[in-house]
Chains A and B, each alone.
Chain A
Amino acid sequence: MFCGFQMKNPQRSPTNPGSVRSRFTQVFLQSLLRIRKHSPASSSSSSSLGEFLKRCHRVKVAAYVSMARAAGTRRAWSRAMLWRVRHDAHRHRLLQGRCSRSSSRERSPGKKKRRTKKKKKRRDDQEHGFGNAEKLQKLVPGGEAMDFSCLLDETAHYIKCLVTQVKVMRSIADFYSL
């Protein structure tokens, strides 16, 4: 449970940043190995841009999924993230089955919930004058279903995990580049 990383004092032990970090690292590294095995063996620069983009997308999704798994399902944002990825993958498979054209839309997390266009401001954001709460809801996975205090709480945890994710990804990338 104790690690040498000086992160903020974890108030809840299940979401200790140390264990989240090591869980994320392991799951993410395994995903990277899997991606590497399944990607075409073209080490020359002749690999097409399409292949590169596909692999890039896979790496990105693997990173977010690994982090959501490491964070555990007790968090609303991680549940929403996993649900969304599963949903997107399923829909992508359906699309691929029907037509050979693959959708090349940008699937950055946090910008996908366009179906729900509820503009009912039943939340505290207007009371406190927080028009930015809506923007925040779109950025945090599952944010649009949360009330204001829940949103703030989930956002805090989400940011901690994102920071961990970035740090680990950067250290892996540095390690590979040596």
Chain B
Amino acid sequence: MSSRRSRSRQSGSSGISDDQIIDLVSKLQQLLPEIRNRRSDTVSAAKVLQETCNYIRSLHREVDDLSERLSELLANSDSAQAAVIRNLLMQQ
């Protein structure tokens, strides 16, 4: 079953099982675009964490770029209102 490591360093109320961590790490692995394509079990958890950090940073950068783009478009667009309403209707 799940092996519990009750180390005294653990600050939480219960020891977190290894299986739980492995499950969570594999769940993360599924989200990462690079590792997902390989889908091998030999990807180490440390690599998953590293890729996760890189992925989050790249997503932040994309948000920054898109914010710039949107900010520019907001300033220049005249028919913004109609476009927004149209977009809202399309979403529903």
A interface, CB within 8 angstroms of B: 8, 22, 25-26, 29, 32-33, 35-36, 39, 42-43, 47, 52, 55-60, 63-64, 108-110, 121-124, 127-133, 135-136, 139-140, 147-149, 152-153, 155-156, 158-160, 162-163, 165-166, 169-170, 172-173, 175-177
B13-57 with Cβ < 8 A to chain A:
16, 20-21, 24-25, 27-28, 30-31, 45-46, 49-50, 52-53, 55-57
Q: How far is the CB of A54 from chain B (nearest CB, A)?
A: 9
Q: How far is the CB of A142 from chain B (nearest CB, A)?
A: 14
Q: A33: which B residues are within 8 A, CB to CB?
A: 80-81, 84
Q: A153: which B residues are within 8 A, CB to CB?
A: 24
Main secondary structure of the interface of B (DSSP, over half): helix
The answer to whether A172 touches B87 (Cβ under 8 A) is: yes
A89 to B63, CA, bound (A): 20
Given A60-B64, A147-B12, A42:B52 Cβ within 8 A: no
A122 to B84, CA, bound (A): 49
Q: How far is the CB of B3 from chain A (nearest CB, A)?
A: 12
Given A33-B84, A136-B52, A26:B7 Cβ within 8 A: no
User: Contact partner of A159 among B21, B55, B78, CB < 8 A?
Assistant: B55
The answer to whether A159 touches B56 (Cβ under 8 A) is: yes
The 8 nearest A-B residue pairs measured at CB? A152-B24, A132-B49, A60-B67, A169-B66, A56-B71, A176-B73, A59-B67, A162-B59
The answer to whether A129 touches B75 (Cβ under 8 A) is: no
User: Contact partner of B68 among A8, A56, A128, A147, CB < 8 A?
Assistant: A56
Q: B78: which A residues are within 8 A, CB to CB?
A: 43
Nearest residue (CB) in A for B55 is A159
The answer to whether A177 touches B50 (Cβ under 8 A) is: no
A108 to B57, CA, bound (A): 11
Given A8-B30, A22-B91, A148-B16, A176:B75 Cβ within 8 A: no
Could you pull out 29 A-B pairs where Cβ atoms are within 8 angstroms? A22-B92, A25-B88, A35-B74, A36-B80, A43-B76, A55-B74, A56-B71, A60-B64, A64-B63, A123-B9, A124-B16, A130-B46, A133-B49, A136-B49, A149-B24, A152-B21, A156-B24, A156-B28, A159-B28, A159-B52, A159-B55, A162-B56, A169-B70, A170-B66, A173-B70, A176-B73, A176-B80, A176-B83, A177-B73
